[in-house]
A = this chain, B = another copy of it.
């Protein structure tokens, strides 16, 4: 049997060799954290390499994602479908082993990390999901949800503000099954951190209500005792502060930023081999080491034990068990389609003329009872965002049976935590703030899109319609720029019906995030035929039409649809054929067939106008260089909303003028 040190050195060897081979990457962190990982995986982690999807596995997140060769090495060594060739292909096209761990590439990677600080926030979300799901489903002694969430963090994660947001909330919620390890090596890319980072980190985390332990990160016994202690403390998350040496084992580069983000070099690698007494050639692992790491049998046993428990659970609680399986398999309820459709028809019949944020709350109200996995929240704007529906039950440390989180004023933390909740499984999270503050969370929104996971971002107060709070709170560029994130579904509905459809679409869009963008102010109901209601889901459709071929097409979204509809009725435009296209979701529209798109925007009609109270540039794709975009390319102002719309030219007369200028009738 290989010694603990030797098992850990396997990670070091694989990391330094793979980085060298790729001629890029970060050997320092894997080499520094190898001992911690070895103890964690070989003494504690409950996981099954043969089934990375087993719902009750312990989760592991590498928040300092640049150290990706650590999880890749472990996945390989412990028996996942990650071969030595996969490690040789580190950072190459089509490989399972990209530069940073990416969800969906290698089995066993629980989340995409690299942008620092977000992994710990994901882990907080995973731990929240575990806690809430356990509270909902566990019965008597049948704890079908009962696992730990482990996370590795570097100094960079500690410096990033999101670590504050996530860890403060984790402390408040007393997430006792969250155990974080801080790689306290005193080095970041610029050098020794003491010039820019002198926090007393243990004290900081105690201030958050965490249980904090300090250990030598190269002493397996200390690490083991610390993990045992952390697992025993159930009412506080634990931070194990591990004093480590970055690049441990490299005689000349260890302890310096020179081994952080670059290959060690052949010479230093040879010296490291000697230093570590590691005699195998690159990518060769001694059988005794494989044996020490192999978790296939143990992992299967773990899952089998759980399966037995689950079988008993099925017998005792067949309906709950079926519901649990549905939730874990991310299937919508059988009656979903029908119920959602019925609700849309009901909304249409009611001809609601409210703010879409209010219509959004009504949609949540309607869908939540059918969809218990809907898990809401807001970054301290619940009332304004319309997320506090009648059945909302905020999670508290003492009451984890919940369907909501008061995230506090933590937009970035919220969004990355939501991503963690999705990744855990069992929930469809939505989280809300004002649209302008999507800025604070932007990279978490991006990572949801990159991971193709179903986080639903609810953004209210979507334009100058926000009014008096002024330009700091008025989004201008946010709608077009969120649309530009690949894989993003952004909906900006114009009334209660489009709002209900957008919620339905977001709930059915399982392989990516959605942004639901709602107005502060009331918006009129738009009458539609059943076919038109059906067409909303296509992202763009003809809402009003003239007889015969239109002279001009007006495209509008959200609150500007009402304005455009009024213009269609304008006496000043009598005799001009106007088509009004509502386009709540450009990404959806772009994916329709050419035929459909041409039916909505016939290529021969180049007289086109867009009205949207947002930055204009991206709309020329639809109207061409000679089209007119009535948008907003400056910041807003502080004043009542109605005055602002007039001030910035979102008026019937401005649109009428545009129609006239395009049709030569002015």
Contact = CB atoms under 8 A, between A and B. Distances in A.
Contact of A65 (B383, B396, B472): B472
B195 A199 contact: no
A66 B640 CA distance: 16
A254 to B, nearest CB: 19
Contacts of A476: 486
Interface stretch (A152-160, A273-281, A537-545): A152-160
A439 B450 contact: no
A137 interface: no
Interface string A190-223: 1101011111110110111100000000000000
Interface in A55-95: 65-66, 91-93, 95
A339 to B, nearest CB: 30
A615 B195 contact: no
A59 to B, nearest CB: 19
A333 interface: no
A635 B91 contact: no
Interface stretch (A36-44, A163-171, A237-245, A453-461): A163-171
Interface stretch (A5-13, A498-506, A619-627): A619-627
Given A468-B91, A481-B484, A189 B380 contact: yes
Given A159-B409, A189-B380, A208 B199 contact: yes
Given A159-B410, A165-B159, A443-B439, A102 B470 contact: yes
A480 interface: yes
A614 to B, nearest CB: 9
A24 B203 contact: no
Given A95-B638, A439-B443, A409 B160 contact: yes
A381 B66 CA distance: 14
Contact of A620 (B381, B468, B624): B624
Interface stretch (A111-119, A292-300, A340-348): A111-119
B197 A168 contact: yes
A26 to B, nearest CB: 9
Contact of A189 (B384, B447, B638, B640): B384
Contacts of A563: none
A378 interface: yes
A553 B635 CA distance: 33
A647 B93 contact: yes
Contact of A195 (B91, B201, B396): B396
Contact of A159 (B66, B168, B196, B638): B168
Nearest to A643: B93
A155 B168 CA distance: 13
B161 A114 contact: no
A157 B208 CA distance: 16
A160 B160 CA distance: 11
A637 interface: yes
A266 interface: no
A473 B68 CA distance: 14
A284 interface: no
Given A99-B469, A638-B98, A169 B196 contact: yes
Contacts of A625: 620-624
A159 B394 CA distance: 18
A172 interface: yes
Interface in A593-641: 615, 617-618, 620-626, 633-635, 637-640
A99 B201 CA distance: 38
Interface residues of A, number: 113
Contacts of A639: 91-93
Interface string A378-420: 1011111000000000101000000001111110110000000
A471 interface: yes
Given A93-B647, A196-B408, A189 B381 contact: yes
Given A99-B638, A196-B408, A639-B92, A114 B439 contact: no
Contacts of A624: 620, 624-626
A62 to B, nearest CB: 12
A207 B626 CA distance: 59
A189 B410 CA distance: 13
Nearest to A445: B439
B190 A378 contact: yes
Interface string A251-283: 000000000000000000000000000000000
Nearest to A439: B443
Contacts of A380: 156, 159, 188-190, 196
A403 to B, nearest CB: 15
Given A24-B468, A472-B112, A409 B99 contact: no
B442 A91 contact: no
Contacts of A168: 159, 197-199
Given A100-B473, A200-B209, A477-B484, 6 more contacts: A91-B468, A160-B161, A437-B443, A477-B481, A484-B618, A620-B621
Interface of A: 22, 24-25, 65-66, 91-93, 95, 98-100, 102, 112-117, 155-157, 159-165, 168-169, 171-172, 188-191, 193, 195-201, 203-204, 206-209, 378, 380-384, 394, 396, 405-410, 412-413, 436-437, 439-440, 442-443, 446-447, 449-450, 467-473, 476-477, 480-481, 483-487, 615, 617-618, 620-626, 633-635, 637-640, 643-644, 647
Q: Which 5 A-B pairs have the closest CB atoms?
A: A161-B161, A98-B638, A164-B164, A114-B472, A439-B443
21 contacts: A24-B467, A91-B470, A92-B640, A93-B647, A100-B473, A102-B471, A160-B440, A161-B162, A161-B412, A161-B413, A163-B164, A171-B199, A196-B406, A200-B208, A204-B207, A447-B472, A480-B618, A484-B617, A617-B621, A620-B625, A624-B625
